[in-house]
Chains A and B, each alone.
Chain A
């Protein structure tokens, strides 16, 4: 998992729950590097999961909800840090259709070793269908990111989510 995700997670925890909460969950999660993450590093996915579980235990908020919230938050942050990702794109569906071919290509330039999810996207009438597939299998994060994208483009979205037989997740998005 990219270090950027960890540092952004810390920013969210500090902003929403305070610096002490961050200290506490770092301690609870028993991390190998004592929670010293740099955005340009690469870390074990499990460490993030342990952090989220620690946060869930302390805040009594369910893990999927936390992850979704984090996804929504991180989208806004990423657009601030990498404004190029949305350059010349004014339509949400166009942006979402180009996740694999535009956004992930840019990510690979910075982090050649990043393992990124795959989206098979298509449009049926007014519905955008995105099938999410990832080794990390974090559909909640994906959903949060889609919500974040909707907010970024100031659109109200209806998102229907369904688990497919092969373990991938299908999102049907209408606006």
Chain B
């Protein structure tokens, strides 16, 4: 029998037991949460360490990149200043020299200017390649013509040093290749120039051989060999890695942007190949790469030939380019007086008729009352630029076919594309190559008649 007191006692015991259970559950939860927090904290610390590490790595990488850029700039500045020094120095000398000596100064100034242009082109190519902005042109071309071109273009150095230059090409190669002929030529010229630069006597040889040929595909190996100073293995390793030459002092001795090989390598890679180098110090070097091309049929047989390092003089080439352009009426739209002088004198010397407009608006006014066969149009000008002017000219049906050739120092793909977009017929890069300018005028002038 239980008393009322016992009942109360049991009730309280139950409540106490319930409270104790609840407290224990709460404590267990607390411990669990503490543990979770601890683990979370540990994980966070790990993450912080890892992130910090990543940041350090990224910082180090960025610092290296900045350093590389700074070195590159310093290097390019040096390379640009070298020919600039010649140009400025020779100009000053020329001004005070007797007339009979001036021609020699001018010729050397022109040579240094060409070197300067080559360096600028290299820098441009290099930065385009670095940013992945290069598109290969895929057209059918005749390898024989590319080779002929290379033989024609023969480098100053090969002639000066009286090196033997040989081109060995496959016989019976009666197909057209699909690819970027201009870039292929650039690669080969780069490699040949490079070999010529480091070869004092003996030979430079371009050898092209068929590795395999199927119905619609051909694999060719291109090799440039020389009997030059060669390289140690260490130097070879450095070759394609940076934009330096095998050693920094070499650029002092041999000149050049030091970008040629890197650019060539990148172009070859874009085409699906890779330049490999074999070299022995004091014996010579060999650079070679293999490329595959789609082919189309063409009946032409070529054979081994020795290149004749005969180069036409500038005067000869100018005369050829100017043929049948006499009295062609050119409207030159250009804002810079010096550039006006350069272009108009080249044109007048070739017996073309030149009218000069200072900007797009003046050009429009002149077009109203005069007849022109060709317009040479600068792109960036005050008052009205070349894009705007071209757009307005093209709106007039009367001028739909009038050749408008852009003449610009902006040589990026974008700018050329924009020129085409507004309706320009062609593009000439500054500095102007007079032969090229005349040839382009002729090409469009003839097309028009």
Contacts and interface: CB of A to CB of B under 8 A. Distances in A.
A33 B14 contact: no
Given A20-B11, A23-B11, A36 B18 contact: yes
B33 to A, nearest CB: 8
A19 B15 CA distance: 9
23 contacts: A19-B15, A20-B11, A23-B14, A23-B15, A26-B18, A33-B21, A33-B25, A34-B17, A34-B18, A36-B17, A36-B25, A37-B22, A37-B25, A38-B22, A38-B23, A38-B25, A38-B29, A39-B26, A40-B26, A40-B29, A41-B25, A41-B26, A41-B29
Nearest to B23: A38
A87 B11 CA distance: 41
A98 interface: no
A33 B19 CA distance: 11
Contacts of B17: 34, 36
Nearest to A7: B22
Given A41-B26, A41-B29, A36 B21 contact: yes
Which of B19, B26, B30 has the most chain A CB atoms inside 10 A of its CB?
A: B26
A38 B31 CA distance: 14
Task: Give the bracket for the number of chain B residues in contact with chain A.
Answer: 10 to 19
A interface majority secondary structure: loop
A35 interface: yes
Interface of B: 11, 14-15, 17-23, 25-26, 29-30
Interface string A1-26: 00000000000000000011001001
Contact of B19 (A36, A40, A41): A36
Nearest to B20: A36
A39 to B, nearest CB: 8
Interface in A26-57: 26, 33-41
Identify the 3 closest CB pairs spanning chains A and B, nearest first: A36-B21, A38-B26, A36-B22
A22 B8 CA distance: 14
Contacts of A34: 17-18, 21
Which of B11, B20, B22, B30 has the most chain A CB atoms inside 10 A of its CB?
A: B22
A24 to B, nearest CB: 10
B27 to A, nearest CB: 9
Given A19-B15, A36-B19, A40-B30, 14 more contacts: A23-B11, A23-B14, A26-B18, A33-B25, A34-B17, A36-B17, A36-B18, A36-B20, A36-B25, A37-B22, A38-B22, A38-B25, A39-B26, A41-B26
A38 B19 CA distance: 9
Contacts of B25: 33, 36-38, 41
Contacts of B26: 38-41
A40 B23 CA distance: 10
Contacts of A39: 26
A39 B30 CA distance: 12
Contacts of A40: 26, 29-30
Contacts of B11: 19-20, 23
Contacts of A33: 21, 25
B403 to A, nearest CB: 68
Nearest to B14: A23
A23 B10 CA distance: 11
A40 B17 CA distance: 19
A29 to B, nearest CB: 13
A130 to B, nearest CB: 33
A38 B28 CA distance: 11
Contacts of B23: 38
Contacts of B19: 36
A39 B29 CA distance: 11
A151 B25 CA distance: 34
A15 to B, nearest CB: 16
A34 B13 CA distance: 13
B44 to A, nearest CB: 16
Contact of A35 (B18, B20, B29, B30): B18
A41 B11 CA distance: 25
Contacts of B22: 36-38
A150 B19 CA distance: 33
A167 to B, nearest CB: 33
A40 B31 CA distance: 12
A108 to B, nearest CB: 15
